[in-house]
Amino acid sequence: ALIARQREQLDDEEECWSDGLNIMQQEVLSLLDAALNQNRRGYGEKDLRCARLHELMAMIYVSRMQNNKDAGISGESLELAKEHYEQAKAIHANRLGEHSRPVLESSVGIAQAEMLAGREQEAVKIMVETLQSVEETVMEASATEVEPWFFIDIVLRLSHWTASSDNTATNDLATQMLVKAHALATKNYKASDRRVVDVTRDLALRAVKAGEYAKARRYLADILEVERQVHGQYSAPVCRTLNALASVLIALEHMEDASAVLSKAKLIAEGVLSSERSPSRRESLTELLRIIEGKLAFCEGAES
């Protein structure tokens, strides 16, 4: 609330906002630290309220890493974020158990801080260890502490972090986890659920990256069916998925099929663009239409 109130009073310039944000974050950290000391005196350092305050302080330090490009401040914030997350983990483990969701959430927080600091290897290692712990819990039929969505969301985060990685072992691991997440998602949620669609889309991207175009085609076909049901036949999401499907068909050298798909995508893009009023969406759709037309020209040239 303090940040929200004071932010309105700051100048719109980015530098001023950054400086003001740092000042406000420091003020909030001072307030949280005072509250933490008071809770320790009143309830003991292992009280769950202390754990929550440690988490909030860790989040502020992570936010400072996101909003500050100074390497010194980033490094200091990383260590302090990790320290507070570890304190929260210790309290939650003592009160709720080592495999409780709050403990696992703190581990994810540490991994996020490592990733922001550019320490991808450390971040991935922590995420994998966390996933293994979650998997042991969530796969149990009687498990109620950790819901399936928690495992799925961690897998998706790991997948996004490593999407551009050239490390074969890391990519293989991310794909294996996505396969497990997909099985869990389809078992617990409807086909139209965001988690099912997101995992399927990431599997399609991983398949393309691995050159497994036939597999990618199947995943994209599943997504397309859901998006047609949810968004309608002539919607922007359907258009984007058709565009992605066309790329896979081109890779498979199915030029005639790709041309047919691209023609549908072009028709949809033109229709959506004609009724869109948002400047940013119009710009995005215009770029998508340009890409579709370029692919269509390529297919027509290849066919001739």
Rounded to whole angstroms, what are the CA distances from 23 to 5, 20, 29? Answer: 13, 5, 10
Domain shared by 193 and 131, yes or no: no
pLDDT above 70: residue 72: no
pLDDT above 50: residue 13: no
In the structure, what pLDDT confidence band is assigned to residue 6 with cuts at 50, 70 and 90?
A: low
Domain shared by 111 and 13, yes or no: yes
Work out the mean pLDDT of the chain and round it to a whole number: 89
Domain shared by 164 and 182, yes or no: yes
Domain shared by 204 and 123, yes or no: no
pLDDT in tens, 136-160: 776 554 445 678 899 999 999 999 9
Burial class for 166, CB neighbours closer than 10 Å (0-12, 13-18, 19+): exposed
Residue 190: count other Cβ atoms within 10 Å of its Cβ: 10
Where does the chain have alpha helices with state H?
2-7, 14-43, 48-67, 71-96, 101-116, 120-138, 148-161, 168-188, 194-209, 213-231, 236-251, 255-275, 279-303
CB distance 228 to 186 below 8 Å: no
pLDDT of residue 75: 82
Residue range(s) defining the domain that contains residue 152: 147-210
Domain shared by 137 and 156, yes or no: no
Which tokens in the block code for residue 263?
A: 């023609």
Q: Is the dihedral of CA 241, 244, 248, 249 positive or negative?
A: positive
pLDDT of residue 74: 75
Mean pLDDT confidence for 227-251: 96
| Backbone Cα Rg of the chain | 24
Domain shared by 66 and 47, yes or no: yes
Residue 138: count other Cβ atoms within 10 Å of its Cβ: 21
pLDDT in tens, 204-222: 999 999 999 999 999 999 9
pLDDT of residue 136: 74
pLDDT of residue 11: 45
CB distance 85 to 113 below 8 Å: yes
pLDDT of residue 141: 45
Name the least confident of 105-109, 119-123, 266-270, 292-296.
Answer: 119-123
Mean pLDDT confidence for 248-252: 96
Which tokens in the block code for residue 122?
A: 């450390």
pLDDT above 60: residue 255: yes
Domain shared by 177 and 257, yes or no: no
pLDDT of residue 81: 95
pLDDT above 70: residue 54: yes
Domain boundary among 118, 141, 164: 141
pLDDT above 90: residue 23: no
Report the C-alpha dihedral over residues 268, 271, 273, 274, rounded to 10 degrees.
170
Residue with tokens 């047919």: 260
Distance in angstroms between the alpha carbons of the first and the last residue of the chain:
64
pLDDT in tens, 80-118: 999 999 999 999 999 998 888 899 999 999 999 999 998
Domain shared by 34 and 123, yes or no: yes
3-state DSSP call for residue 275?
Answer: helix
Domain shared by 106 and 170, yes or no: no
In the structure, what pLDDT confidence band is assigned to residue 1 with cuts at 50, 70 and 90?
A: low
More confident residue, 71 or 171: 171
More confident residue, 6 or 62: 62
